[in-house]
Amino acid sequence: MDFALTQDQRLMQESLVRTLEQASSLERVRRFAGDLKDKGADVWQALTAFGLAGIVVPEEHGGLGLTMLDAALASEALGAAIAPVPFMGVVLGPIALLRGGTAEQQAEWLPKMASGAVMAAAAISEPIAGARDGAGVTAKDGKLTGKALFVPGGLAAGLLIVADTAGGLHLVKGDAAGLTRTLMPGIDETRRLADLGFEDVAAEPLNSGDGGGGPELLAALRDAGWVLVAADSLGAAQVMLDKAVAYAKERRQFDRLIGSFQAVKHLCAEMAAELEPCRSLVWYAAYAFDAAPAEASLMAAHAKALTSEVGRFVARTATEVHGGMGITDLLGLHFWFKRLGLNRQLLGGPERVRELAARLQGLAA
């Protein structure tokens, strides 16, 4: 019985945090947020050098061959640094190919993903979070038609994993004819969401791997996505809490450090008390993805829903502890606030995710 990170995992995460301090400082993130021409290439390059591009790609395809828990720890560090890197596709792309791709598809794409030459993005919002504004993609005779919204990293991805309205999944090349990609400007300018348009776009089906195609593969991508978003929120919320505590230890009013007032210190204690159990739940959900498949979906759902709720609480409370400074652009706290705001809705808000959690246990029709 060992419910803890290994020494290797701790070192990997600490080392990634240090890499991100250099590669994705707040000043760097600000530049990315303020300039749509900035693609964050240097950030991605630093992370590729770290090995992140191939984190879940097997070693025989040039990757690190690590687990979902390792990917979640990386996602946590990226969330803490509000890094402008669409990491979800970096993990979901290889998982889609490993579980649903042919040997040829794997041989073609996995090495390119592991080297960082091709970044993948997953267009799975409609079947998971629900279709909005009539979005949805239909597949017919190897061609896709329709719309997929809210695709993180979808603007620049070289490979798209696209879910159709029947639950099937497809590979689409980033330069395929008939594919249009438009930015959906949102609150979190460190994450660029794409509106993808398909007009008879050539696609290859993903349905021959061990996991089978269709619902099971889609469920695996959903679970992985939920775990990664949950971990990203955990990292972002922990930074907001740490910043609030640091501020409460230096800011003086009424001749006292504000952190000595119980009204302020109890806000900090409540944030810590809510957030710390999320860490254990995220670890377990990530572990279950590989090691306890029967529980994986339920735990991923709860990890996503709970970090969404706690993330919102921490985001507003940590901002409040900073007083007026908390809402200024100068401090930059709002970047984490907005990341948590995005993560809450991405791949389904907590209400929708919990309804699915109930269904998974046979508690809802």
Partner 1 sequence: MDLSETAEMAAFRGEVRAFLAAHAGDYEAGAARAPRAWQDLLIRNGYAARTIPKAYGGYGAEPDILKSRIIAEAFIAAGAPRGIANQGVSMLVPTLLEVGSEEQKQRWIGPTIRGEVVWCQGYSEPGAGSDLANLQTRAVEDGKDFVISGSKIWTSTAAQAQMMFALIRTEPQAAKHEGISYVLIPMDTPGIEVRPLKTMTGGAEFNEVFFTDVRVPQDQVVGGRGRGWFVANTTLKHERGMLGDPNATEARLNALIALMKAETVDGQRIIDNPIFRDRLMQLQGRVFAMKFNGLRLFTSRLSQEPAGIAGLIVKLQGCELNHQLAALAIDALGELGVLYTDGPHLRAKGRWQWNYMFDLGLIIGGGTAQIQKNIIAERGLGLPREPKPAAA
Nearer to partner 1, 100 or 326 (CB): 326
Q: Using DSSP, state whether 169 is helix, strand or coil.
A: strand
User: H or E segment at 199?
Assistant: strand 193-202
Q: Which of 131, 176, 202, 272 binds partner 1 (CB under 8 A)?
A: 272
Q: Using DSSP, state whether 161 is helix, strand or coil.
A: strand
Q: Which of 257, 313, 331, 345 binds partner 1 (CB under 8 A)?
A: 257
CA distance 289 to 301: 12
CA distance 159 to 161: 7
Nearer to partner 1, 132 or 252 (CB): 252
Nearer to partner 1, 41 or 365 (CB): 365
- Specify whether the CB–CB gap between 52 and 120 falls below 8 A: no
Nearest to 134 by CA among 165, 104, 107: 165
Nearest to 77 by CA among 28, 27, 24: 24
Q: Which of 49, 183, 273, 327 binds partner 1 (CB under 8 A)?
A: 273
Nearer to partner 1, 139 or 333 (CB): 333
- Tell whether residue 277 is a contact of partner 1 (CB under 8 A): yes
Judged by CB under 8 A, the number of residues near partner 1 is 48
- Tell whether residue 57 is a contact of partner 1 (CB under 8 A): no
Region of 22-30, 51-59, 208-216, 356-364 interacting with partner 1 (CB under 8 A): 356-364
User: Which residue is associated with the tokens 């306890």?
Assistant: 292
- Tell whether residue 355 is a contact of partner 1 (CB under 8 A): yes
Q: Which of 173, 251, 265, 334 binds partner 1 (CB under 8 A)?
A: 265
Tokens standing for residue 123: 């267009």
Q: Which whole-number Å values give the CA distances from 311 to 232, 271, 318, 336, in the listed order? A: 10, 9, 10, 10
What phi and psi values does residue 196 have, to the nearest 5 degrees? Answer: -100, 130
CA distance 190 to 347: 17
Q: Taking the complex as a whole, how short is the minimal distance between the CB of residue 91 and partner 1, in angstroms?
A: 18
- Tell whether residue 270 is a contact of partner 1 (CB under 8 A): yes
Secondary structure (DSSP) of 90-117: HHHHHHHHHHH--HHHHHHHHHHHHHTS
- Tell whether residue 18 is a contact of partner 1 (CB under 8 A): no
Site for partner 1 in 287-316 (CB under 8 A): 287, 291-292, 299, 302, 305-306, 309
- Tell whether residue 4 is a contact of partner 1 (CB under 8 A): yes
Tokens standing for residue 164: 């159709």
CA distance 62 to 363: 43
Q: Taking the complex as a whole, how short is the minimal distance between the CB of residue 180 and partner 1, in angstroms?
A: 38
Q: Taking the complex as a whole, how short is the minimal distance between the CB of residue 57 and partner 1, in angstroms?
A: 21
Q: Report the interface residues with partner 1, using CB under 8 A.
A: 1-6, 69, 245, 248-249, 256-257, 259-262, 265-266, 268-270, 272-274, 276-281, 283-284, 287, 291-292, 299, 302, 305-306, 309, 351, 354-355, 357-358, 363-365
